[in-house]
A and B are shown apart, each in its own frame.
Chain A
Amino acid sequence: MAADGYVDHAPGYVANEGPKIVTGRFGYEDSHRLARFEATGGYEGLLRALALAPGAVHQQVRDAILLGRGGAGFPAGVKWGFLPPGRYPYYLVVNGDESEPGTYKDRLLMERDPHQLIEGCLIACYALGLSQCFLYVRGEMALAQERIAAALNEAYEAGYAGRRICGTDFSVDVVLTWGAGAYIVGEETALIESLEGNRGMPRLKPPYFPAAVGLYGQPTIVNNVETLSNLGWIMANGADAYRRHGSESSPGTRMFAVSGHVRRPGVYEVEHGVTTFRELLYGDNFARGILHDRELKAFIPGGGSAPWFFPEHLDLPLEAKPVGAAGSMLGSGAVVVMDETTDAVDAALRLVRFFARESCGKCTPCREGTTWLERILQRIADGRGRPSDIDLLLDVSDNISPGPYPAASDEARGLAAVAFPPRQTTICPLGPSAVAPVVSTIRRFRSEYEARITRRDAIPVKAAS
């Protein structure tokens, strides 16, 4: 069943052509072992960093314009700069709670190249004077936990972690910790709550960044797994080398998971900012077009939280700014492709149900609103919809995320794009995320809703055959 380029021990990863900054070792069966890591340039970046003053390492990261890979796309070097001077201890919390629908990259990075991640953690700790690192892995990812535990044990044994790293006066512990099943913990303040042993409920903002008030109220850097996995390469090869890949404002590469109705679904390391969605979905080097030669109906460019795009948006580049202006987000590098057979109501229900199940329950609009949206959609899907339900869906949505809600342009219907991000009556973006599929589908496929309500019609979601 392996498609072209499919590497059996890194399921889903496609070794396409192009620069490999974070996936370079995936081709080796023992890519997770220290011996392989060291044999392929591993920990060179750390050694380079240790030879520099901490501030100089931070400057390298700043110069590399390493954009956060967790969803918000904020430059890591700038985020690091928010640490208030002198309020020690500082902490590093690694966000390995990947669970955004459609997203599949951090799990691979943790399972396939844990040392690369650990090296990134150590470089960040060194650069910023972070006293302890907590590597928080999603609870369900047993293999990632095992691989990281084994890698940490190797790293401690070899002197790469813990006391007096590589014989220097740099000492820091990297502690593996893990969750127990809650999507919301991917939100950085909820992650910190979880790490403090609490219910994983997001904190109120302000303060906007854990860099000011984080773990135990101390300054804390929260970085995504993929973000940190870039640091070894950047330190080993330099910020200039890094910036030679990708675009000027979005250098380097990014991992994208292309899933759904495509011929070659997979996880690709893609040059950031220069590739377009069309290349990603149709290019020979990537997903190679829609399954069974069907027509593209819609695609989600950045995970389940992202407003949908349609065929006319295929030529947008994989770059945060233009995607945001066009009404959606690149998010966590998850592109979900839906062909013409996809039922808009069912697909929206699927995503809304997810957000309702994952709402933490802390604030009213999200707790009650997402559940309500799900129940209305379920009713429509079950053939018990009412004509007023479409407006009700939009109004309930509006009470979670006061409009106008971000959306792609739709020339045929004379609708202009509404830029990202949405507004919210909620504490965190989860509630507004549930609105994305609702507004995206009603704006574009209102007739499908109407048909479902009045004629009880449904386009069945078919399994690939």
Chain B
Amino acid sequence: MSRLTADNEARARRIMALYPRPKSALIPLLHLAQSQDGHLTDEAVRHVAELVGITPAEAAGTATFYEMFKFHPVGRYLVNVCTNISCALLGADDLVAHASAALGVKPGGTTDDGMFTLETVECMAACTEAPCLAVNYRYRLRVTPNDFDDLVAAIRSGDIDQEIPHHGTLARVHQEIPEGRMAGISSPEQARAAPAWMAAGAEGAG
């Protein structure tokens, strides 16, 4: 049970200000909620729905469509192993079997210590580097069983905390438009005229 913190709510409002309609910020705001709690709590979904002006049922309708959103706690590290065609041709199944044995959980399961959730996923767009996996959406390529063991050991030791944030945190660099630099949103309700550089119709943009 956690609504967005004051800081996150302020950030949510900054994100919403980038879109002509607040509902367009729904997915980014749900990510924000997930970064706060590691998964989407009912209270956070309710809060996000309130912010963008829809019902919680509508927000949940959208949220449940997308597989990155989790509605129950998952491990601090979400291990996604690709099993689609290119990876399968080069040993993805063996990698899944190894990961499953190494972590002691079946795909979909979470280790008892809450550290790892193992998932098989579809194509991650690293097909030439098969087999591949991602931990909290940080890619690892041409992964051998040994690589996997090393990765788990490194995570457990905290050595790569810098590189791989806890589950929920996606990008750590955000778009921030400097004061006065924004051109301004154009909503269908407001903007009906041609933009200035088109209206001028002159050669070049002056």
Contact = CB atoms under 8 A, between A and B. Distances in A.
Query: Do A and B touch, yes or no (CB under 8 Å, in the complex)?
Result: yes
Interface of A: 1, 11-12, 50-54, 86, 88-89, 91, 98-104, 106-107, 126, 129-132, 134, 138-143, 145-150, 152-153, 156-157, 161-163, 165-166, 168-173, 175-183, 194-201, 216-218, 257-261, 265-267, 300, 304, 334, 336, 338, 342, 346-347, 350-351, 354, 357-358, 360, 461-464
Contact of B90 (A106, A157, A463): A463
Interface residues of B, number: 83
Nearest to B93: A461
A175 B125 contact: no
A208 B21 CA distance: 24
A139 B35 CA distance: 13
Contact of B181 (A163, A194, A216, A266): A163
Most buried by A among B123, B193, B204: B123
B27 A103 contact: no
B127 A132 contact: no
Contact of B86 (A106, A139, A259): A259
Contacts of B63: 180
B30 interface: yes
B119 to A, nearest CB: 11
Give the interface SS of chain B, mostly helix, strand, loop or mixed. loop
Nearest to B176: A153
Interface string B26-39: 11101100000000
Contact of A464 (B91, B134, B171, B204): B91
A89 B205 contact: no
A65 to B, nearest CB: 24
Going nearest first, the 8 A-B pairs with the smallest beta carbon separation are A463-B91, A180-B66, A197-B26, A131-B186, A168-B205, A197-B23, A129-B198, A259-B127
A250 B181 CA distance: 39
Nearest to A194: B27
Contacts, number: 276
Contacts of B54: 197
Nearest to B193: A88
Contacts of A176: 175
Nearest to B94: A463
B20 A257 contact: no
B63 to A, nearest CB: 8
Contacts of B178: 156-157
Given A169-B200, A354-B123, A336 B141 contact: no
B184 interface: yes
21 contacts: A53-B204, A88-B186, A100-B123, A102-B127, A104-B127, A129-B194, A139-B27, A145-B171, A147-B173, A163-B184, A169-B197, A173-B177, A181-B66, A182-B67, A183-B122, A196-B21, A197-B26, A261-B90, A347-B88, A354-B123, A464-B90
A102 B181 contact: no
